[in-house]
Amino acid sequence: MRTCILMNPKAGSAAQGAALRGAVAGRSDTIIRETRRPGDARALAAEMSRAGYELIVAAGGDGTINEVVNGLAAASAHATLGIIPLGTGNDLARTLAIPSDPLEALALLTRGPVRVIDLMKIESADATAYGINVAAGGFSGQVDEVLTEELKATWGPLAYLIGAARVLPDLTGYETTIAWEDGPPERVEALNVVVANGRTVGGGIPVAPAANPEDGRLDVVVVRYSSVVELMGVAARLLAGNYLTSERVFHRQVRRVRIASRPGMWFNVDGELLTNEPVTISVLPQALRVVVGPTYAPNRTV
């Protein structure tokens, strides 16, 4: 199978990058292309799929995977997605049971099972994008605004907790309307809204533990704005993996959802900030072939 690995050289360590290059050297069916700036992985994914590469591999973090997915979706490509996790969180890789060791993930590409999973399409007045893991707005968007590449490089997964601590003094309650499917909008004062295809963010935090990437549904989880004491209780349940049972949280599974708020709620898609305009998020069922780990189970909870 002709394979193109799109590697973010800023992700992972220099030793991991060198090991990957060494493992691929001499393979006639595999090439590595390195990204240099934001947007490169998207453009290269579309270009390489049009050039006939059957397996396009994202070697980087969730942001790199998101770019590759957007490139494949924009090009209507039929290539299969492979993943070599080199990022800070590697959350999609967790859901898909892909080994965290890059060389093990590389070996999986030639022998791992291939599944067909759903994607998300996110549309607003100023942007259209595709997502594969999680789109989140409100508190999550505020955290993403303070997360820098330096912070993530220095602290790894702890960067997300540090970012959350920085945002806590300025918690915002968003007057939000949510329309489920084609139904009428419902009003809620929300702190955070998660629309998920995968299960975790921030290096394993189970924001959508019931999500199934193959069920043709999006898991929407809304955390209501509350007192700091109540939110601490929600956070404790979140880290324990059972916050869906909290009275301050509600959860639905839908094919489409429209979200608008005052003030504008910044939404990120797979960790990348997109827009603070009203968004419509739809599921694209069975949209992408992807290599998964041998223990992957689509309906498994974390």
What mean pLDDT is reported for the chain?
86
Instruction: Give start and end residues of each alpha helix (H) in 75-176.
Output: 91-95, 102-111, 139-146, 149-155, 158-167
Which segment, 154-158, 167-171, 184-188, is predicted with the most confidence on average?
184-188
Q: Where are the domains of the chain?
A: 3-112, 122-286
- More confident position, 141 or 72: 72
- What number of other Cβ atoms are within 10 A of residue 154's Cβ? 11
Catalytic residue of the set 54, 123, 272, 277: 272
On whether the CB atoms of residues 170 and 300 are closer than 8 A, the answer is no
Q: Tell me, what's the pLDDT at 125?
A: 94
Q: What is the CATH number of domain 122-286?
A: 2.60.200.40
Q: In this prediction, what percent of the chain has a pLDDT beyond 70?
A: 85
Instruction: Return left, alpha or beta for 51; rule: phi > 0 is left, psi -120 to 50 is alpha, else beta.
Output: alpha
Please say if the pLDDT value at position 234 is more than 80: no
Please say if the pLDDT value at position 81 is more than 70: yes
Spatial separation of the C-alpha atoms in residues 136 and 157, rounded to whole Å: 18
Which of 209, 10, 7 lies closest to 91, judged by CA? 209
Residue type, 97: A
Please report which confidence band the pLDDT of residue 161 belongs to, taking 50, 70 and 90 as the band edges: very low
- 92 token code pair: 């999609």
Spatial separation of the C-alpha atoms in residues 181 and 256, rounded to whole Å: 5
- What number of other Cβ atoms are within 10 A of residue 115's Cβ? 17
- Annotation marks residue 272 as catalytic: yes
- 127 token code pair: 């942007």
Per-residue pLDDT reduced to its tens digit, 187-215: 999 888 999 999 998 888 888 999 999 99
Q: Tell me, what's the pLDDT at 157?
A: 45
CA atoms within 13 A on the CB side of 158: 3
Average pLDDT of the residues in 28-37: 93
Say which residue the tokens 């921030």 belong to.
202
Which of 235, 229, 226, 284 lies closest to 255, judged by CA? 284
Residues near 151 by beta carbon (within 8 Å), at least 6 away in sequence: 159, 162, 163
Which stretch of 16-30, 138-152, 279-293 has the lowest confidence by average pLDDT? 138-152
Per-residue pLDDT reduced to its tens digit, 89-115: 899 999 999 999 999 999 999 999 999
Q: Quick one: fold of 3-112? A: Rossmann fold (3.40.50)
Does residue 85 have a cis bond before it (omega within 30 degrees)? no
Residue type, 139: F
Which of 132, 122, 139, 140 lies closest to 95, judged by CA? 132
Say which residue the tokens 């999500």 belong to.
211
Spatial separation of the C-alpha atoms in residues 57 and 106, rounded to whole Å: 9
